[in-house]
Structure 1
């Protein structure tokens, strides 16, 4: 069982609900990069708002293949993101256990957005205890039998419009109202090993 997806930055919970039962993810890095998408954006919950973390890229306006797109390290985005994550989740029950694995990826100063996202995805799958292999999608047309969800999980439309994710609430750090479909790190830091069960409960019944 394999699924074809784009490569997102610390993807939303919906993404992991979609891939949780697969054996392999084929990552499409040959597509043209699109702005204002999950490819370089991720959402976390701060004390009084949902914050969007955005990675600056070089030449994202042109038709650049996602796999060739470089992160703009001239901008001091990395400290902003790490501080934001620490501010949001520093007091979460599983922060001290999981954050070092994620921080380690940032400290590598990776040039290509696809490589950076891929390393973070690998860490997230490990922390979720999901045994799923990652491969880059080849240039030949993929097998039409494969589950292809490219273009489905969009930051510009609500998950409610799609047939993937039905939020199973869990204890978040701030506020009384549950905020669904944040970055997977919100789930990991808040409930730790229980994350996998929450993903299973969040599957929309077709």
Structure 2
């Protein structure tokens, strides 16, 4: 069991990230870094009937100014909540455990959150509750410089980073909703795993990390 991991802020983050979370006693979310586009901060990937889909939470655009994650505001100029939930329902309505967990996640697409960090944090807490796991979660008080120590996994959890390059992680395949149409798609949003495998989600995430610290 890892004692503490420094992780990036994410919107329904990928399985690679959640494997580390499940194998940690405590996690610290870095919230003082500047917001960056095209990261897991405000986007996730799922697979629907027509293939891979990218869901992105729009943020308020401040012209060329650097804004910390803590201060990043969610934009409601368009009805992205309805679109995201419609896409999630379309993708997973036929999955074995969607109806079991849907009511836990649906409220996030009805209530407006001001800050992205609050929205993502509550989603993380809801997921952990759904698999009945307690992890101590803290938000950074100040910016945490990147380091190459095992406790900092921010560099390896990125859309441009390949999970296969992480020697401590292995991809475990499971049956996905559209497996009859598409080959297995690794490292989707953790909700893909949850809706497809339900109570087995914890075991799969736990077994995805190859090394443990005492």
Equivalent of 2:192, from 186, 196, 201?
Answer: 186
Equivalent of 2:14, from 12, 15, 23?
Answer: 12
> Is contact 2:23-2:209 (8 Å) kept?
no
- Residue 162 of structure 2 corresponds to 158
> Is contact 1:7-1:117 (8 Å) kept?
yes
Inter-partner Cα distance in structure 1 for 2:86 and 2:43: 16
Question: How big is the shift at 1:69?
Answer: 0.3
Alpha carbon RMSD of aligned pairs, Å?
2.0
Report Cα offsets for 1:146-193 as digits up to 9, x if no partner.
812122211123222223431111111103421110000000000100
- Residue 173 of structure 1 corresponds to 177
Inter-partner Cα distance in structure 1 for 2:143 and 2:45: 33
Decide whether aligned partners of structure 1 residues 141 and 114 sit closer, same or farther in structure 2, where only a CA change above 3 A counts: closer
> Is contact 1:94-1:192 (8 Å) kept?
yes
- Residue 199 of structure 1 corresponds to 205
Question: How big is the shift at 1:128?
Answer: 2.3
Question: How big is the shift at 1:205?
Answer: 5.3
Inter-partner Cα distance in structure 2 for 1:191 and 1:131: 20
Question: How big is the shift at 1:137?
Answer: 1.2
> Is contact 2:45-2:189 (8 Å) kept?
yes
TM-score normalised by structure 1 residue count: 0.92
> Is contact 1:48-1:174 (8 Å) kept?
no
1:102 aligns with 2:108: no
Decide whether aligned partners of structure 1 residues 14 and 146 sit closer, same or farther in structure 2, where only a CA change above 3 A counts: closer
Q: Gaps (5+ residues) in structure 1?
A: none
TM-score normalised by structure 2 residue count: 0.89
Structure 1 range deviating more: 118-127 or 196-205: 196-205
Q: Which ranges of 4 or more aligned residues in structure 1 deviate by more than 3 Å?
A: none
- Residue 64 of structure 1 corresponds to 67
Q: Gaps (5+ residues) in structure 2?
A: none
Q: How many residues align?
A: 205
